[in-house]
Amino acid sequence: MALDDPATLVSTDWLAAHLRDPDLRIIDASWYMPAENRDTKAEYEAAHIPGARFFDIDEISDARSSLPHMAPSPEKFMSRMRAMGVGDGHQIVVYDTDGIFSAPRVWWLFRLMGQMNIAVLDGGMKKWVAEGRAIEDLPPVIRDRHMMVRFQNQMVKDVTQVAAAAKLGAYQIVDARAATRFAGTDPEPRAGLRAGHIPGAVNVPFKTLLNENGTMKDEAGLKAAFTAGGVDLEKPVIASCGSGITACVLALALERIGKTDHAVYDGSWTEWGSVPSMPIETGAS
């Protein structure tokens, strides 16, 4: 697949060339682990790619759930996007400050809502700034536009569906966490969670899909990383991680290699690891 694909991934060169397109909408989806104590909204307000809107992953979520940043209802998503001036007919580019970390979560949310015209900025804000490209601290001009949502149920799995998949082996469960967290040798960053992984899962740490500069590997590199992690690319995949953020890096990478039969376990280990009745395994896959 060519690097610049408006439905998956675009380069900083592509974004610079299209920056003034009237129907382009840029989204800053930066997010950090709670322990980092960073104010993403303040960082966005201080510096962002020109015209970018801020997407609050924790706020644009299901407030009824006790789990962090679960996918919002279609109604809430539509309402928040209208308030951001993002709607039908827009080409959306989403980025984060880390390179490729949290932006794929928002890419996946748009696709979950049936919006396919969204791409992640390869290398994110870090690459954009390193190249000396323009940034600003101005708020975007918001123009209301309606968004039609067509919820894609097949793209998200709940704990019951994942438990069945683990038992029956119909799906490959692929965990994006670091190898030490997957194996259970490192404690979980969230209090109260057991250490380990879903039985039968394999481990593809999301960073193995990225180059040293934070860009995504090419198709051959992605396939090699999945194969090295024990993924059978002939089987459908359920992607999991700590709380549903980096699982979406796996989803983006799978889409980049032309594999479309994938879903995200939205509750991920934050849910599975907190339920005493759910079985766990430890050790490498």
As annotated, the active-site residues are 241
How many whole angstroms from its chain centre is CA 251? 8
CA distance 74 to 92: 18
Which of 126, 113, 119, 133 is closest to 13 using CA atoms?
Answer: 133
Give just the sign of the alpha carbon dihedral 18, 19, 21, 24. positive
Distance between CA 186 and CA 189 in Å, rounded? 9
**3-class DSSP assignment, residue 116:** coil
DSSP 278: S
List the beta strands (DSSP E) in 128-244: 156-157, 172-175, 202-203, 237-240
> d(Cα 27, Cα 16) in Å, to the nearest integer?
14
- Angstrom distance (rounded) from CA 95 to CA 27: 6
Extract the runs of DSSP E, i.e. beta strands, from the chain: 9-10, 24-28, 53-54, 91-95, 118-121, 156-157, 172-175, 202-203, 237-240, 262-265
Q: Please, what sign has the CA dihedral across residues 48, 15, 25, 4?
A: negative
